[in-house]
């Protein structure tokens, strides 16, 4: 009798946790990051099978819309992930992309002057485990060094437990505005629409040797695969940052590009345009909004002519 009650209790508890996990997973992705499951769905189970891809962090996620870059014979997918730095992409590319996706002709890499600082770009490979197909997740569990964060991030009721109370309050309150409207999603791109905050910020990102080495190794992987690379630095709001690192770190990116003969379209310090000056085109100092991404992507389309051949 006791064992039967314990078994019933365990079943009920498991059911509650399963339903809670499903609810938290759905409400979390739908309101704040609906693009992540779609991007991982494409890389593991390709439908677009893009000819060229876009990589980078949130500036590229929300700033480069493939819709305006494509042509009849060129399909593009934006695999940029918020907070993703070079060490993340090196693992993502070698563990996932190379095994599940066709080799692209080009990689448009959304470089940024903050990209070598892991305190700014904090995304870890294991934190995306809830988007991994079961067979891939089980395979990754073999690495005991990363098992704990892999398991912790797999389930929303553990990885997002701190936001549970606010989620419950929202159930009975006013519906929260979509920061990333899913209706405007297109092939990995999604606009970032939040209350505009263009307050001047002081940012002094580090150039970490680990991130720099990971970036060089990632570029080596592209080179070995015969994949052409184009660097694009998405425009930021001209009056938004107070940092000597903008020019210094951009200069480092230029040196890397020159040494490898990689075209570098820099809209932060060189190709400054009216977009950089127009506060109506930004959600914050580093991120274009929907209108800004459209204006920039159309400009980028013109500048990429001859580079995507």
Task: Cite the beta strand spans of 60-135 per DSSP E.
Answer: 76-78, 106-110
Residue 276 is part of a domain; what is its CATH number?
3.40.50.1110
Which uninterrupted H or E stretch holds 286?
A: none
Neighbours of 154 (CB within 10 A): 20
pLDDT (0 to 100) of residue 196: 72
Q: Which residues constitute the domain of residue 142?
A: 2-303
Mean pLDDT by 10 residues, the chain (309 residues): 57 53 50 87 97 97 96 95 97 97 97 95 94 94 88 68 51 65 93 80 88 98 97 90 85 97 96 93 92 96 91
Does the residue 123 lie in any domain? yes
Q: Sort 56 into a burial class: Cβ within 10 Å, 0-12 / 13-18 / 19+.
A: buried
Does the residue 309 lie in any domain? no
Please tell me the total count of domains within the chain: 1
- Confirm if 118 and 71 have CB atoms less than 8 A apart: no
d(CA 118, CA 115): 8
Q: Among positive and negative, which fits the CA dihedral 236, 242, 243, 244?
A: positive
Tokens of 92: 């993502």
- Confirm if 52 and 308 have CB atoms less than 8 A apart: yes
Q: Quote the Cα angle for 235-237-239, to 5°.
A: 135
pLDDT (0 to 100) of residue 41: 96
pLDDT (0 to 100) of residue 233: 97
pLDDT (0 to 100) of residue 243: 74
- Residue the block writes with tokens 């508890």: 13
Does the residue 268 lie in any domain? yes
Does the residue 161 lie in any domain? yes
Does the residue 230 lie in any domain? yes
Tokens of 119: 């305190």
Strand pairing report for 282-284 and 287-288:
antiparallel
63-88 confidence digits (pLDDT tens): 999 999 999 899 999 999 999 999 99
Closest to 44 measured CA to CA, from 113, 87, 96: 96
Does the residue 308 lie in any domain? no
Does the residue 95 lie in any domain? yes
7-16 confidence digits (pLDDT tens): 555 566 455 5
Q: Among positive and negative, which fits the CA dihedral 141, 142, 143, 147?
A: positive
Does the residue 21 lie in any domain? yes
- Confirm if 40 and 131 have CB atoms less than 8 A apart: yes
């Amino acid at each position: 009798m006791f064992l039967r009650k314990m078994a019933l209790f365990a079943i009920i508890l498991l059911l509650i946790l399963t339903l809670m996990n499903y609810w938290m997973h759905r409400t979390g992705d739908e309101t704040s990051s609906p693009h992540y499951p779609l991007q991982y769905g494409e890389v593991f189970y390709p439908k677009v099978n893009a000819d060229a891809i876009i990589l980078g962090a949130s500036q590229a996620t929300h700033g480069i819309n493939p819709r305006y870059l494509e042509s009849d014979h060129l399909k593009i997918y934006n695999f940029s992930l918020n907070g993703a730095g070079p060490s993340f992409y090196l693992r993502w590319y070698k563990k996932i992309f190379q095994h599940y996706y066709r080799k692209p002709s080009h990689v448009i890499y959304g470089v940024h002057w903050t990209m070598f600082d892991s305190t700014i770009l904090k995304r870890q490979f294991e934190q995306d485990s809830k988007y991994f197909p079961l067979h891939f997740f089980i395979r990754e569990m073999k690495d005991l060094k990363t098992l704990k964060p892999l398991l912790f991030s797999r389930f929303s009721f553990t990885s997002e437990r701190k936001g549970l109370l606010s989620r419950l309050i929202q159930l009975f309150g006013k519906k929260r505005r979509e920061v990333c409207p899913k209706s405007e999603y297109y092939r990995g791109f999604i606009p970032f629409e939040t209350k505009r905050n263009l307050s001047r910020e002081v940012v002094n990102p580090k150039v970490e040797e680990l991130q720099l080495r990971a970036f060089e190794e990632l570029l080596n992987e592209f080179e070995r695969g015969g994949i052409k690379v184009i660097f694009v630095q998405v425009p930021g709001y001209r009056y938004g940052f107070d940092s000597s690192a903008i020019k210094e770190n951009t200069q480092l990116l230029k040196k890397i590009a020159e040494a490898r003969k990689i075209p570098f379209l820099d809209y932060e310090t060189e190709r400054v345009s009216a977009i950089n000056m127009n506060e109506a085109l930004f959600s914050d100092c580093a991120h274009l909004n929907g209108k800004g991404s459209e204006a920039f992507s159309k400009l980028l389309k013109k500048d990429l002519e001859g580079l995507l051949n």
